[in-house]
């Protein structure tokens, strides 16, 4: 028998999430979210969430969207919320359309904070967002397990345990079209430029310019994307 052809070393497929058409959410779904807002306080709405947070049915997915819409400051159409997604102070979030949030991600806001996730963002499973002063532009890719920290203890006075010292919140900005690799970490105060790529496992301690590729611990720019100087 002739030898079977060798499988290709790699394949190239069209993107799916980013090219998905954004359709308006069903009017009945939007109306139910508005009804919950009108007849229940936030605590009562939050109490409903555990009933649907782990389910995988179409109804569970719909109810997660309804509950999020009824609490968030703003929420667009076509949002996908995976199973076991956790959050804190969802009322401070503005979430765009066609946003995907993967299973077991956690979004931690703050009562006086602000968080904006732009249209078309993809947030991978087990991601952690310290979203006390966080902004994602449009079409940001956030790899599975990637994390951002938006605050740190100042550490003074030194005779005090670090966790007793003041907490400093610093903004984190990820601009449009940037892509953050699996298990990467963004530290407080950094800005990731438009179209930049952060490699898997990188620890970003300072700003990364637009269209740069940064890897390592701490992350350093290793090259610019093709066509950029």
What sections of 49-163 are H helices per DSSP? 58-71
pTM score of the predicted model:
0.91
Of these residues, 17, 61, 89, 153, which one is catalytic? 153
Spatial CB neighbours of 7, under 8 Å, sequence gap ≥ 6: none
Locate all alpha helices (DSSP H) within 72-154, ordered by sequence.
Answer: none
Active-site residue, 89 included: no
Mean pLDDT, residues 204-210 taken together: 97
Reported as a pLDDT band with limits 50, 70 and 90, residue 23 is: confident
Helices (H) and strands (E) in the chain, counts: 3, 22
Q: Which residue has the higher pLDDT, 226 or 209?
A: 209
Q: 200 and 214 in contact (C-beta within 8 Å)? A: no
Which class for 18: exposed (0-12), middle (13-18), buried (19 or more C-beta within 10 A)? middle
CATH assignment, 76-224: 2.160.10.10
The larger pLDDT score, comparing residue 67 to residue 18, is at 67
């Amino acid at each position: 028998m002739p030898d079977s052809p060798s499988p290709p070393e790699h394949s190239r497929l069209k993107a799916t999430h980013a090219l998905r058409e954004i359709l308006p959410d069903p009017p009945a779904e939007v109306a139910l979210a508005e009804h919950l807002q009108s007849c229940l306080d936030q605590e009562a709405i939050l109490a409903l969430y555990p009933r649907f947070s782990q389910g995988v049915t179409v109804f569970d997915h719909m109810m997660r969207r309804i509950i999020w819409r009824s609490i968030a400051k703003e929420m667009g159409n076509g949002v996908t919320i995976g199973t076991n997604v956790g959050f804190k102070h969802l009322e401070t979030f503005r979430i765009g359309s066609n946003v995907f949030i993967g299973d077991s991600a956690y979004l931690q806001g703050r009562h006086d904070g602000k968080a904006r996730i732009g249209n078309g963002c993809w947030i991978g499973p087990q991601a952690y967002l310290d979203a006390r002063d966080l902004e994602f532009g449009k079409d940001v890719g956030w790899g599975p397990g990637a994390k951002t920290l938006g605050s740190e203890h100042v550490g003074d006075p030194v005779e005090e345990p670090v966790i007793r010292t003041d907490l400093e919140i610093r903004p984190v900005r990820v601009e449009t079209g940037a892509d953050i690799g699996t298990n990467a970490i963004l530290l407080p105060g950094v800005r990731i430029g438009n179209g930049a790529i952060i490699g898997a496992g990188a620890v970003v301690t300072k700003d990364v310019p637009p269209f740069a590729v940064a890897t390592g611990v701490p992350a350093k720019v290793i090259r610019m994307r093709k066509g950029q100087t």
